[in-house]
């Protein structure tokens, strides 16, 4: 029976997940990656590589497949075509990938504290039927300190500001000991100081060798703060440094008529992505 | 006054009833916390109703044996709880639609089966609305054993259930056996329902799962405290409800549920009053 097979296959401890981290391999490799829903392709033959320690922006209009791509990389959505590799292995063998959800999909009224949420990042390592050990509490405390939330640890999560909520999820990814962090729209709805705090934090993490992929709407932010940009609209439109990726041709391919492009005398482009929520991006 | 409180206890059936109401109420409240947090109220209600054909068969073949009733109800509950996900996937229906179709059908089947017996309306009423004053010692022991089992399993998988309820995506990235844990939770809900059948019956079951937990969610924003207060609410409602039932001569299951409901309303009114006062003083 299916149920018995499932019980047998379930791994009841983490010992099965000590997948080899072959550092000669790129941390993410997508080869002809496709995801097809009933409504059509969310991702269509996307191929790219991400290297350890990179800070990569994933940019594209709404419905471009950014969240889908992150879920495939995190190993929670199986691709319908092509393949994805983490350090050369299947994503399902790794627990070193952290997916930080969009703040809008989180149930903020859920009765948990900041500390509880960060401890959730340890659940996989603690193992079934076990309680958190001293080491786990220590990791949670360190993670909270890193993101500057130690004083708010016992707050219920709805009592945090948007920026604090985002930093809490980064702390959870730290507690998870993630080597690859996937941040889904972390800047949406944040004011400038809060954005800058997150950016500073990301820079620190990158300095420690953590690979970071961030999906975002703000093309300026992508150009200023990220070493490489992946421009996506179901297919991969361009991947490279901001100078290489952000030009009229590629942006028209990604955004179509939803983009305002003004040529300035200096030749620079002023871009406004008008198609998306969380607008106000200029 | 004191005498009024003690008077019901001269009857052994009232003592057993109180014990059953408190025990079952606390188990329902703890399990119900997850039911509320995951938005499974409709599932819980429907699951309680699907048990009816199981009860009917147990009743027809068991010749009035409580033991037979219990095991048939448990079997039916676990089978329907586990199969509902599969059915909705196979039929390509939304889960609540599938639940509606199957569970209403099962309920009708139960009514049809019971109606084939002559003392139909009395027996049906017992199944639908419970009969807590008929609880025997053996029933109490069975409720304690299975209720205890449910609480132990909730405690054992507490962090996994919490994580799955709050963030299923993280559960998946941490490679938890999410599907199995979901099944386990659903089976625990099924056991809870069967254990509580005698208190409030099939028709009012959902109130025992939902109302104390919902009340507690107004009082606290910590999950362990929410479970604690839900259990306190449920136990109190069981006791107060049985007193009301004794002195006003109303149906026990209905009295318990009404007490829960009034408790919820009092707490929510109290909360909004407190918020208003708080706002005025800070403004």
What sign does the CA torsion over B142, B147, B152, B157 have?
A: positive
CATH 3.40.50.300 fits A1-96+179-189+212-257, yes or no: yes
- Residue A160: name the closest of B253, B59, A151 by CA: A151
Q: What are phi and psi of A119, to 5 degrees?
A: -60, -25
CB-CB neighbors (< 8 A) of B183 in chain A: 3
pLDDT band at A281; cut points 50, 70, 90: very low
- Residue A240: name the closest of A252, A253, A227, A251 by CA: A227
Tell me if B19 sits within 8 A of B193, measured CB to CB: no
The pLDDT score that the predictor gives to residue A282 is 34
Residues paired with A270 in a beta bridge: A262
Interface of A with B (CB under 8 A): 3, 6-7, 10-12, 14, 17, 71, 74-76, 92, 95, 97-99, 101, 106-107, 110-113, 116-117, 119-121, 123-124, 126, 128-129, 132, 156, 158, 172, 176
Q: What is the pLDDT of residues B30-78, one digit of tens each?
A: 999 999 999 999 999 999 999 999 988 988 888 778 888 899 999 999 9
Q: What is the pLDDT of residues B179-236, one digit of tens each?
A: 899 999 999 999 999 999 888 888 899 999 999 999 999 999 999 999 999 999 999 9
Q: Where are the domains of chain A?
A: 1-96+179-189+212-257, 104-178
What sign does the CA torsion over B69, B74, B75, B81 have?
A: positive
Inter-chain residue contact B162 with A17, CB threshold 8 Å? no
Tell me the CA distances in angstroms from A154 to A116, A167, A170, B226, one per residue in order.
Answer: 8, 15, 17, 16
What ipTM was assigned to the predicted interfaces of this complex? 0.86
- Which residue from B156, B175, B226 is facing A124, i.e. has the nearest CB? B175
Residues 131-190 of B with CB under 8 A from A: 156-157, 159-160, 162-163, 165-167, 169-177, 179-180, 183
CB-CB neighbors (< 8 A) of A107 in chain B: 166
Q: What is the pLDDT of residues B116-149, one digit of tens each?
A: 877 777 778 888 888 888 889 999 999 999 999 9
- What is the 3-state secondary structure of chain A? CHHHHHHHHCCCCHHHHCCCCCCCCCCEEEEEEEEEECCEEEEEEEEEEECCCCEEEEECCCCCCHHHHHHHHCCCCCCCEEEEEECCECHHHCCCEEEECCHHHCCCCCCCEHHHHHHHCCHHHHCCCCCCCHHHHHHHHHHHHHCCCHHHCCCEHHHCCHHHHHHHHHHHHHHCCCCEEEEECCCCCCCHHHHHHHHHHHHHHHHCCCEEEEEECCHHHHHHHCCEEEEEECEEEEEECHHHHCCHHHHHHHHHHHEEEEECCCCCEEEEECCCCCCCCC
CB-CB neighbors (< 8 A) of B177 in chain A: 6, 10-12
How many Å lie between the alpha carbon of A243 and the closest alpha carbon of chain B?
A: 34
The pLDDT score that the predictor gives to residue A19 is 61
Tell me if A102 sits within 8 A of A188, measured CB to CB: yes
CB-CB neighbors (< 8 A) of B89 in chain A: none
pLDDT band at A159; cut points 50, 70, 90: very high
Instruction: Search chain A and give the residue with CA nearest B37.
Output: A110
State yes or no: pLDDT of A275 exceeds 50: no
How many Å lie between the alpha carbon of A10 and the closest alpha carbon of chain B?
A: 6
pLDDT, averaged across chain B:
90
Question: What letters, b where the CB count within 10 A reaches 16 and e where it falls short, cover A133-162?
Answer: eeebeebbbebbebbebeebbebbbeebeb
State yes or no: pLDDT of A9 exceeds 70: no
Inter-chain residue contact A123 with B176, CB threshold 8 Å? yes
Mean pLDDT calculated for residue range A140-150: 96
**What is the C-alpha separation between A211 and B6, in angstroms, rounded?**
69
Residue B252 DSSP one-character state = H
The pLDDT score that the predictor gives to residue A13 is 52
**What is the C-alpha separation between A34 and A36, in angstroms, rounded?**
6
Mean pLDDT calculated for residue range A245-263: 73
The pLDDT score that the predictor gives to residue B142 is 93
The pLDDT score that the predictor gives to residue B283 is 41
The structural domains of chain B, ordered by start, are 12-278 (1.10.3470.10)
- Residue B218: name the closest of B262, B279, B154, B270 by CA: B270
**Chain Cα centroid distance, residue B189:** 8
The pLDDT score that the predictor gives to residue A17 is 57
pLDDT band at A11; cut points 50, 70, 90: low
**What is the C-alpha separation between B214 and B210, in angstroms, rounded?**
6
């Amino acid at each position: 029976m299916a149920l018995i097979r499932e019980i047998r296959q379930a791994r009841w401890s983490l010992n099965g997940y000590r997948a080899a981290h072959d550092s000669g391999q790129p941390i993410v490799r997508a080869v002809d990656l496709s995801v097809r829903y009933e409504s059509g392709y969310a991702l269509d033959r996307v191929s790219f590589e991400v290297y350890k320690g990179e800070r990569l922006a994933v940019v594209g209009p709404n419905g471009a497949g950014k969240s889908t791509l992150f879920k495939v990389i995190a190993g929670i959505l199986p691709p319908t075509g092509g393949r994805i590799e983490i350090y050369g292995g299947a994503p399902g063998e790794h627990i070193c990938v952290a997916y930080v959800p969009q703040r809008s999909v989180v149930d903020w009224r859920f009765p948990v504290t900041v500390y509880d949420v960060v401890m959730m990042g340890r659940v996989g390592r603690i193992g079934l039927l076990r309680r958190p050990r001293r080491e786990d509490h220590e990791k949670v405390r360190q993670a909270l300190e890193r993101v500057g939330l130690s004083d708010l640890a016992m707050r219920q999560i709805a009592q945090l500001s948007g920026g604090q909520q985002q930093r809490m999820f980064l702390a959870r990814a730290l507690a998870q000991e993630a080597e690859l962090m996937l941040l889904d729209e972390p800047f949406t709805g944040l004011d400038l100081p809060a954005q800058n705090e997150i950016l500073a934090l990301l820079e620190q993490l990158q300095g420690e060798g953590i690979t970071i992929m961030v999906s975002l709407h703000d093309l300026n932010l992508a150009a200023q703060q990220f070493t490489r940009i992946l421009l996506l609209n179901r297919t991969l439109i361009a991947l490279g440094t901001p100078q290489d990726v952000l030009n009229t041709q590629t942006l028209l391919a990604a955004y179509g008529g939803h983009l305002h492009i003004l040529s300035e005398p200096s030749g620079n482009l002023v871009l406004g992505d008008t198609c998306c929520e969380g607008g106000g991006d200029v | 006054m004191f005498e009024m409180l003690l008077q019901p206890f001269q009857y052994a059936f009232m003592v057993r009833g109180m014990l059953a109401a408190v025990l079952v109420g606390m188990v329902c409240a703890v399990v119900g916390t997850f039911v509320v947090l995951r938005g499974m109220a409709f599932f819980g209600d429907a699951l309680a109703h699907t048990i009816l054909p199981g009860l009917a068969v147990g009743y027809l073949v068991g010749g009035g044996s409580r033991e037979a009733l219990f095991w048939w109800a448990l079997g039916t509950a676990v089978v329907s709880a586990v199969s509902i996900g599969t059915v909705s996937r196979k039929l390509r229906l939304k889960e609540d639609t599938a639940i509606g179709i199957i569970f209403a059908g099962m309920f009708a089947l139960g009514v049809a089966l019971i109606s084939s017996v002559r003392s139909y309306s009395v027996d049906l009423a017992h199944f639908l609305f419970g009969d807590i004053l008929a609880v025997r010692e053996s029933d109490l022991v069975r409720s304690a054993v299975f209720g205890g089992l449910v609480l132990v399993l909730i405690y054992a998988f507490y962090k996994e259930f919490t994580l799955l309820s709050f963030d299923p995506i993280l559960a998946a990235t941490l490679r938890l056996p999410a599907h199995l844990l979901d099944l386990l939770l659903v089976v625990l809900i099924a056991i809870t329902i069967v254990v509580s059948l005698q208190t409030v019956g099939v028709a009012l079951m959902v109130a025992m799962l939902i109302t104390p937990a919902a009340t507690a969610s107004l009082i606290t924003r910590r999950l362990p405290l929410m479970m604690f207060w839900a259990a306190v609410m449920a136990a109190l409602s069981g006791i107060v409800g049985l007193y009301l039932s004794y002195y006003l001569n109303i149906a026990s299951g209905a009295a318990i549920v009404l007490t829960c409901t009034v408790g919820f309303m009092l707490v929510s009114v109290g909360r909004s009053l407190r918020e208003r006062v708080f706002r005025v003083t800070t403004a």
